[in-house]
Copies of this chain bind each other. A is one copy, B any other.
Amino acid sequence: MIKFAVMGFGTVGAGVAEILQKNSALLEARLGEPIELKYILDIRDFPDSPFSNRVVHDFETIVNDEEVDVIVETIGGAKVAYDYTKRALLAGKHVVTSNKELVAIHGCELLKIAEEKNVNYLFEAAVGGGIPVLRPLHQCLAANEIEEVFGILNGTTNYILTRMVRAGVTFEAALREAQSLGYAEQDPTADVEGHDACRKICILADLAFGREILPEDVPTEGISGVTLRDVELVEKAGWRVKLLGRALRQEDGRVSAYVAPHLVRAEHPIAGVEDVFNAIMVRGNAVGEVMFYGPGAGSLPTASAVVADVLDAAQHQEKRKKIGWTERKAEQIAPWDALSARQYFRVKDGLHQVDEVFPGSEILSHQEHEIAFITPYMSCGELNRRAKSLQLCARLWVLE
C-alpha cells in the first residue's frame, strides 16, 4: 500500500484527487499495490468534497507520518512551497511537484537534498502540463548531445496570438477574451510578459544541458508589444508569430536561453500549434528534431503528469532516479548578444536606408515610409548596434 499526501488543493491538487478516484483500479494494477490519498493539506476546508475527511491544516501531520511515502506539492510559488519541500525531502519523503517557479529557482538545491536522502524529487508537470517531455528528454534522448530545446511553453499567450491571427483582433481584445474564458488571470503579467515561459525554459535547459540556468540569466520579452499589424503582415508573407522559449548550446559549450516572440514559418510543425496547446521541440545530435505536443495546463492534464510521477516515485523507492544538474557558473552562460540570428524589423524609413544598414535583407512589405524586412544572420549585438540608425516600429526574432 502506497500512501501519499497532496499539499495545496487548488486546480491541480483537485485534479490529482479526481484521477485517483476515476482510475483507481488501473493505478492499483499498474503499481502492483493499492494507492491511497491519506492527507490533503490546505488552509481551507472543503466540506463538499468527497475528500473532506482527509483535509488537514498542519504540515507537521504529514511530514511526521511514517506511513506517507510521497508528498505532492501543488502550492505554487517559491516560499511556503520551498520550505515544505525541503523539509519533506529532509524527512526522507519523495516529493512530486507541478511548481515551475520553485524548480526553476531552487531545483538544483532540492535535487541535491533528494540525492543525499536517496529520495525522488520529480516535476514532469512543471513544464508542458500533461505533455510528457522532461522524462523523454532525460531518458529517451539520453544517447544524444542536446543542441537546442525550444517551444511554445505558455498556453495563455498562444491563445492570444492564435486569436490575433484567426479572428484579426488586437492583443488587448484577445487578452480580454482569454480572461473571460478563464485562460488568463485577472493580473495576466506572469503569462503575457513571458515570466511563466521563462521558468519553463530554465527547467528544460537545466535538464537538457545538465547545468543550472536561472531566470535572471534569461532575457525575457512577452507579447504585450506584439501588434495586429505585424501579425497580419508576416502572416501574408508565410510566417506566424509565436512566443518561444529557447535554449541553445553554443559551439564552445556555453548555453544561451531567452524568451521572445518569434516569426515561425507556416510549414514548421510548431506553427500549427494553436489555442492553449503547448509544444516542445528538442534537437539532439543523433535523433535530429523531435516534438512533444499537447495540453500545457488544466486540472486533469497537469494532474495526469503528477500522478505518473507519484507512481514512478513509488516504484523507485529503493533506487532513486538520477536527475540533477550542476550549480550555476557564470562562465557557462553565453552573453546573448553573441547569439547569431536573423530578426524581423518594421521601420519608418526608406528602402535605401534599410539597404544601407542591413544590406541583403528580405523585404516582406514595402509601403511609403514603412518597410518590414528580415535581416541577414548576424550577432544580436550587431543587430542592436545597427538598429539604432533606423526608426523602429516593431522588432521580432526569427526561428530558423
Contacts and interface: CB of A to CB of B under 8 A. Distances in A.
A145 B286 contact: no
13 contacts: A23-B143, A132-B136, A132-B140, A136-B140, A139-B308, A139-B312, A143-B303, A144-B304, A269-B293, A287-B294, A289-B294, A290-B295, A292-B292
Contacts of A303: 143, 286
B295 A287 contact: yes
A301 B287 contact: yes
Interface string A22-40: 1100110010100000000
A142 B28 CA distance: 11
A301 B289 CA distance: 9
A307 B286 contact: yes
A140 B144 contact: no
A290 B288 contact: no
Contacts of A388: none
A305 interface: yes
A231 B232 CA distance: 30
Nearest to A305: B140
Contacts of A141: 132, 304, 308
A319 interface: yes
A32 B322 CA distance: 10
Contact of A290 (B284, B293, B300): B293
Interface string A300-318: 1101111110011001001
Contact of A304 (B26, B132, B286, B300): B286
A149 to B, nearest CB: 14
B130 A286 contact: yes
B294 A23 contact: no
A197 interface: no
State the main secondary structure of chain A at its contact with B: mixed
Interface in A6-29: 15, 19, 22-23, 26-27
A94 to B, nearest CB: 16
A19 B286 contact: yes
Contacts of A305: 140, 143, 287
A291 interface: yes
A288 B295 contact: yes
A298 B294 CA distance: 26
Nearest to A288: B295
B292 A304 contact: no
Nearest to A299: B286
B288 A130 contact: yes
A267 interface: yes
A273 interface: yes
B300 A286 contact: yes
Given A135-B136, A290-B292, A143 B304 contact: yes
A303 B112 CA distance: 32
Given A23-B285, A140-B308, A319-B319, 5 more contacts: A32-B322, A143-B304, A143-B308, A269-B273, A287-B300
A131 interface: yes
Contacts of A225: none
A274 interface: yes
B287 A145 contact: no
A162 B295 CA distance: 27
A196 interface: no
